[in-house]
Amino acid sequence: MNEGDRHSEIETLLLDQPFISVNDLVAKLGVSAATVRRDIDKLDELGMAKKVYGGITATEGARRGPSRSLPFSDNRDIAVDAKKAIGGAAAKLVRDGSIIVVHGGSTCFHFGTEIAHRNVRVLTHSLPLAGYLSEFGTCQLTVGGGDLHREPGILYDPSNPIADGFYASQFFVGALGVDARGILERHPLLVKFVQDFAARSNEVVLLADSRKFDERPPISALPLQKIDRIVTDEGLSDAHARMLEDSGTAYTVASTAADKGGLT
């Protein structure tokens, strides 16, 4: 397979999935990792795809297939600057002495690292975040139980209801997609998770980088009317900002520049 054929094959694969790792491309194309990395560099240079840590992603609007969740290990290295900025802005919304719930996913993970030393009790079902807070944090930590679901990276048993009397001040939640319907997901387990904890929290804060506004998973997990604030990044388009404003949804735009970010 020559270079042109490889590039065409990579572009075709990216139409149906948002991210492909270097290792996956080595297996699919039958070439070395060094060749794959050169192909990624060339496609990124030509603007035909975007180079990210560990692999390659499709450019905006180039994907034809349905949105799907990526494993945490793949997703954590995509749009890192935006996710860190969102985490920092969201941390400013946390009140000391409160009980908060933190969802799974890479953006919520970056948020969790920001509040690791705050005087709060954190309830999370996220294995990566629980591991981080256990090793590096000083906040009080409660880890939810249940079966291990590897793709979202959470421990959760939907048949086991949350303990009676549980209540949180804030629920910081991620999403596979966002539109006028609200939080969008593909996995029914995550839909139930979001609905369960939203009902047990005084305030729902959605952490979603601007790419999520172009994703269209099939299931509406929580309507915009039940989201108190969305924290996103400065890549939010004017059209998506108008959609939030028209719906009356408050939002924070976090800047990737240090010590910036505003409330709308």
* pLDDT tens figures, 170-202: 999 999 999 999 999 887 778 888 999 999 999
Q: Is the per-residue pLDDT at 160 higher than 90?
A: no
**Mean predicted confidence (pLDDT) in 155-159:** 76
Specify whether 11 is located in the same domain as 89. Answer: no
User: What's the confidence (pLDDT) of residue 225?
Assistant: 94
Per the document, the length of the chain is 264
Q: Could you tell me the residue range of the domain that residue 253 belongs to?
A: 74-263
Specify whether 17 is located in the same domain as 144. Answer: no
User: How does DSSP classify residue 59?
Assistant: P
Per-residue pLDDT of 54-77, as tens digits, reads: 788 876 555 555 555 555 555 666
User: How does DSSP classify residue 224?
Assistant: G
pLDDT band at 166 (very low <50, low <70, confident <90, very high): confident
Other residues' Cβ atoms within 10 Å of the Cβ of residue 93? 18
User: What's the confidence (pLDDT) of residue 213?
Assistant: 92
Helix, strand, coil percent content, the chain, rounded in steps of 5: 35, 25, 40
Specify whether 202 is located in the same domain as 111. Answer: yes
Identify any residues that bridge with 222 across adjacent strands, giving them in sequence order.
Answer: 183
| Two tokens, residue 210 | 């601007």
Percent with pLDDT over 70 in the chain: 86
Name the residue with higher pLDDT: 259 or 233: 233
User: What's the confidence (pLDDT) of residue 124?
Assistant: 94
Specify whether 78 is located in the same domain as 60. Answer: no
Q: Report yes or no on whether pTM surpasses 0.85.
A: no
User: What's the confidence (pLDDT) of residue 56?
Assistant: 86
Side-by-side strand order, sheet with 19-21: 19-21, 55-57, 50-52
Specify whether 52 is located in the same domain as 82. Answer: no
Q: How many domains does the chain have?
A: 2
